[in-house]
Structure 1
Amino acid sequence: MEKADWLEEVYSHINAAFESEHLPKILDLVRQPSVAGTGEGIDECAEKVMELLRSVGCVDVHLEQYVKSPVVVGRLNADVENAPGILMYGMYDVQPPEPYDEWIVPPYEGARIDFENYGECIVARGIMNSKGPLVCFLNAVDSIRKTLGYMPVNVLFVVEGEEELGSESMIPFVEAHKEEIAKLDGVFLNGARQDEQGRPAVLLGNKGTLYLDLEVTGGEWGGPQKIDLHSMNAAWVGSPAWRLVNALSTMRQGDDILIEGFYDDLKPLSEADEQLTRRFASVFDEEMFLNERLYASRFLHDMHGEEAVRKLMWTPTLNIDGIWGGYTGPATKTVIPYKVQAKVDVRLVPPLTADMMLEKIKKHLNKHGYDDVKITVRQSSPWSKSDPEALACRAALMALDNSGYDQGYAWPIFPGTGPAYLFTQRCGVPFVSYGLGQGGRIHAPNEYHTVKGLRENEMSCAAYLYYLTKLAHEAGQ
């Protein structure tokens, strides 16, 4: 028989089991190297993840090989009828730990220390991104099953080993399992989502990216075509460097993007997104963002408060990532480079697509006389957006509101980019990320997660599953 209110009992089990059972499982996984870029420890780590899935009752645990690292798959079937279903997405690969000499403890030791001003922490590669959150979710599931004697949610576990390489295997994986995924209530990614002030957050979407190479060489317009020239020839030969700079300057002047139609296709926000945006703005700490995250003195156009928040979330951007060509060494070398390149990225928001923005950029350059600029698309990734009213999203928001922490907020769309679009756009299911816990320095030496945060993260996972079942029952599932 199902229990209606079981969350507090599960919390008690997590507290009782955390030090003796749960934390050792977390440490065992972070002590296993798994660097996708080199392949170090990937197969061994995948085996450990399979063992963890089996230990919480998963069936059909197996590996699926697509590009490089295998995807670990397992199914945990609910023991009750009409249970909600989610895909739990995770990753077991990590960034290389180098430089080793900047770590205060060995990166794969799983050391438990008092770290700076954060209190008792685990300092290890992968503890924050993302082995710690993966095992925390599994520990929460274990506590639910042992407390209730049954599992109230169907969970399809999908744990990839190439996230740090761009999730190449997830594209064919999702295509192969599209029908199964489309029947689920949503996709959940666990993570430590508390900010510097301890305020928890829910992520419901992210921007997309169009990444371009722009290249200018000599041609009909002038300029050297085969070799760099001595700069004494600048008096009578055109410069590809100046031509690229001038082309870029037509696209943006000062803080304003000048590409015709760049913002024309944007749509008004839904009422739910409006509410979440205003909620975020109400707790937005401008000084903290500028001083501790951005190391900047001001926002563009001297924006403040809600205006800055809306700009960050809901507008596309045009950014120069780098420009190079000619001589850039420490000495002197007077040349006119024959080839100059720039890398440019555009952040995409709904409903913009990479093709739409690429066409606008091409038309703009052609109109201004720069049709010789060679454009190469290096990468594109669509945006992801989940309906805040969807069951999987409402469960996360309810867990957030009942977390015991004040001033929780949601990102209706996060300014970064990720693979969530594979689920939201290709399968039509919401993707949501939530979790208590604090940590940092991902991809850097001394990656850390507070011990308290790991315990509370397990509780927030249990809370998410609790509110998912509660909402499903209320909806008559």
Structure 2
Amino acid sequence: MDVNRVVAQIERDFEPSHVGRLLDHIRQPSVSALDWGNQEMSGMLAEEIREAGGQAEVVETSEFPVVFGLIDEGAPRTLLCHGLYDVTPAEEPNWLNPPFEPQIHDLPGLGPCVVGRGAEDMKTGIACVMNTVYAARAAGQKLPLNLMFVHEASELGSGGIKEFFPRYKQKMKKANAAYWLCPMAQTDGTPIVPLGLKGNLMGRFFCRPGGWGGPIGNEIHALNSNWIGNPADRLVEAVAHLEKRLEEIYERGEGWVPSPVQERLCRQLSERMDPERLMRSLGVERFRQGDFHAAVRAHLFRAEFTLIGLQAGFIGEGKSVKVSIPSEAQAVVNMRFLPGEDPGERIANVRRILAEGGFGDIEFVVNNHYAGGSTPPDHPLIACFLQAHREMGADPEVWPVHPAGMPVALWTEELGVPWVGGLPCNAMRKHAANEYAQVAGLLQSEKFLAHFFEGFSRLTY
């Protein structure tokens, strides 16, 4: 494939058609939590693959559909493109425009940006790869590789792809590598290249009355709080105990331990990152750690436990008050663990820590989970990926582990192929108001894909 001709075609077609594709994707709601639009979105993506000369099907699962497609150019190598087509609800206040009516805004310090739900997570990557395919077609260039597509709905835990995987594993064995279509770049455009992603778990803690105390059956008046236990208090104490113990495990190096190469990459990363710029982009005033390298190291190498939400008793509006001890408390929690760690072992570890702390009565209900995975830094796929960035004049940041959670083990362990992820587009604010993707990054990403596709086609591992 003549990369220069494809890049020139991308530049000619970028506005309005390439940007327009992303806008069209965002305009189609696909909110798994509300069961809204996933059928329409998956159908749209399948049709685009067919229009580009490929075959595609919408594979129904008991959760949400998976789009499976193949553009077969008769090439010796096949790249599996893994995309996420669903989004979270967009009920936050202060959007610059309705979240499913995307617009381009000139954001301070960022320039023109597409603003809408899914701009970061993750419709940008899906649109970019299709735009690159269409540009190659328009330039009269045959793709130097075959492209396989597996687009799923992930926001409720990737249940669909886990059901899809064994049914289509034989067909996916044609792939030589898996590629995660996520925009990943700093605000100055510096690409982020993750070598691995963490595993993920969503669940709930429940504290109910019992042998430890608490009001059984009904709430009771708060005047009893000095002699009757409070489930809300106990749940907070249990979470605090768990977080303290997980911190001790990390500090003492008792759990997953990074390799010397991973430690070196982490040090290089913290030395080149700008903490002030990073805090501005995140909208925070400080990191939890006083030392920036310690903050980066924890971000990469510590298993996360996040208290997402708490619910117990009465929370009213204004001056209304109900003075009672609640009869139950619950918490929504998210855990992320390191590549190679077994989710079942992590779940058992949480229950063991709670029991050892005297909180064995806390019920831990796991809604869904999956294992992360990684590719060795010296693998030819990684060298090829980094070279494509350098051909674009970029000096990418190499992250030994990225805290994003994805079922990478499906590709690296079950399918047995190397994995890589990321597109050189700054996109942020997922799950929040004014989620965006930089327009300049969209263009850069499509050009990058042309270089990566050509380089990947020459690999011989």
Q: Which TM-score tier does this pair reach, normalised by the shorter chain?
A: 0.7 to 0.9
CA deviation profile, 1:86-119 (whole Å, cap 9, x unmatched) = 11122333444546x8444454555445455533
Q: Once the 2 structures are TM-superposed, how far is the Cα of residue 154 of structure 1 from its aligned partner?
A: 1.4
Distance 2:25 2:243 in 1: 47
Whether the 8 Å contact between 1:126 and 1:132 is mirrored in structure 2 is: yes
Question: Tell me, what secondary structure is at the counterpart of 1:207?
Answer: strand
Distance 1:318 1:121 in 2: 32
**What does 1:293-312 align with in structure 2 at a 5 Å threshold?**
293=282, 295-300=284-289, 302-305=290-293, 307-312=294-299
Percent of matched pairs sharing the same residue: 28
CA deviation profile, 1:318-348 (whole Å, cap 9, x unmatched) = 3433444333435444433333333444321
> 2:389 matched to 1:400?
yes
Matching residue of 1:231:
222
Matching residue of 1:257:
247
Q: Once the 2 structures are TM-superposed, how far is the Cα of residue 39 of structure 1 from its aligned partner?
A: 4.8
Whether the 8 Å contact between 1:257 and 1:318 is mirrored in structure 2 is: no
RMSD: 3.2
Q: Once the 2 structures are TM-superposed, how far is the Cα of residue 193 of structure 1 from its aligned partner?
A: 1.8
> 2:363 matched to 1:363?
no
Matching residue of 1:71:
66
Q: Once the 2 structures are TM-superposed, how far is the Cα of residue 176 of structure 1 from its aligned partner?
A: 1.2
Matching residue of 1:201:
192
> 2:373 matched to 1:377?
no
Whether the 8 Å contact between 1:222 and 1:237 is mirrored in structure 2 is: yes
> 2:444 matched to 1:456?
yes
**Aligned equivalent of 2:14, options 18, 42, 45:** 18
> 2:308 matched to 1:321?
yes
Provide closer, same or farther for how the CA distance between residues 279 and 467 of structure 1 changes in structure 2, counting only shifts above 3 A: farther
**What does 1:266-281 align with in structure 2 at a 5 Å threshold?**
266-269=256-259, 271=261, 273-281=262-270
Matching residue of 2:423:
435
Matching residue of 1:143:
135
Q: Once the 2 structures are TM-superposed, how far is the Cα of residue 246 of structure 1 from its aligned partner?
A: 4.0
Q: Which letter does structure 1 place at the counterpart of 2:163?
A: P
Provide closer, same or farther for how the CA distance between residues 30 and 248 of structure 1 changes in structure 2, counting only shifts above 3 A: closer
> 2:144 matched to 1:152?
yes
> 2:407 matched to 1:419?
yes
Matching residue of 1:172:
163
Distance 1:358 1:191 in 2: 28
Q: Which letter does structure 1 place at the counterpart of 2:279?
A: L
Distance 1:361 1:31 in 2: 41
Q: Number of matched residues?
A: 459
**What does 1:59-138 align with in structure 2 at a 5 Å threshold?**
60-80=55-75, 83-98=76-91, 102-112=94-104, 114-138=106-130
Whether the 8 Å contact between 2:107 and 2:113 is mirrored in structure 1 is: yes
15-24 or 63-72, which moves further after superposition?
15-24
| 5+ residue gaps, structure 1 | none
Q: Once the 2 structures are TM-superposed, how far is the Cα of residue 409 of structure 1 from its aligned partner?
A: 0.4
Distance 2:241 2:17 in 1: 61
Distance 2:117 2:250 in 1: 45
Whether the 8 Å contact between 2:425 and 2:441 is mirrored in structure 1 is: yes
Distance 1:236 1:120 in 2: 60
29-38 or 202-211, which moves further after superposition?
29-38
Q: Which letter does structure 2 place at the counterpart of 1:53?
A: I
CA deviation profile, 1:264-316 (whole Å, cap 9, x unmatched) = 24244163x3443233223122223334416143433x2322x3222211122
| 5+ residue gaps, structure 2 | none
Whether the 8 Å contact between 2:313 and 2:329 is mirrored in structure 1 is: yes
Q: Which letter does structure 2 place at the counterpart of 1:326?
A: G
Provide closer, same or farther for how the CA distance between residues 361 and 465 of structure 1 changes in structure 2, counting only shifts above 3 A: same
Whether the 8 Å contact between 1:265 and 1:351 is mirrored in structure 2 is: no
> 2:213 matched to 1:218?
no
Q: Which letter does structure 2 place at the counterpart of 1:7?
A: V
Q: Which letter does structure 1 place at the counterpart of 2:207?
A: V
Q: Which letter does structure 2 place at the counterpart of 1:132?
A: T
Distance 2:434 2:354 in 1: 45
Q: Which letter does structure 2 place at the counterpart of 1:17?
A: D
CA deviation profile, 1:99-144 (whole Å, cap 9, x unmatched) = 6x84444545554454555333434444443333212212212333
Distance 1:366 1:20 in 2: 59
Whether the 8 Å contact between 2:219 and 2:324 is mirrored in structure 1 is: yes
Whether the 8 Å contact between 1:260 and 1:364 is mirrored in structure 2 is: no
Whether the 8 Å contact between 1:259 and 1:360 is mirrored in structure 2 is: no
Q: Once the 2 structures are TM-superposed, how far is the Cα of residue 40 of structure 1 from its aligned partner?
A: 4.4
Provide closer, same or farther for how the CA distance between residues 111 and 393 of structure 1 changes in structure 2, counting only shifts above 3 A: same
TM-score (norm 2): 0.86
Distance 1:13 1:159 in 2: 26
Provide closer, same or farther for how the CA distance between residues 356 and 150 of structure 1 changes in structure 2, counting only shifts above 3 A: same
Whether the 8 Å contact between 1:210 and 1:345 is mirrored in structure 2 is: yes
Whether the 8 Å contact between 1:391 and 1:468 is mirrored in structure 2 is: no
Whether the 8 Å contact between 1:216 and 1:240 is mirrored in structure 2 is: yes
Q: Which letter does structure 2 place at the counterpart of 1:264?
A: E
Whether the 8 Å contact between 1:386 and 1:430 is mirrored in structure 2 is: yes
Question: Tell me, what secondary structure is at the counterpart of 1:416?
Answer: strand
Distance 1:344 1:98 in 2: 21
Question: Tell me, what secondary structure is at the counterpart of 2:416?
Answer: coil
Distance 2:327 2:225 in 1: 12
Provide closer, same or farther for how the CA distance between residues 334 and 186 of structure 1 changes in structure 2, counting only shifts above 3 A: same
Distance 1:289 1:48 in 2: 36
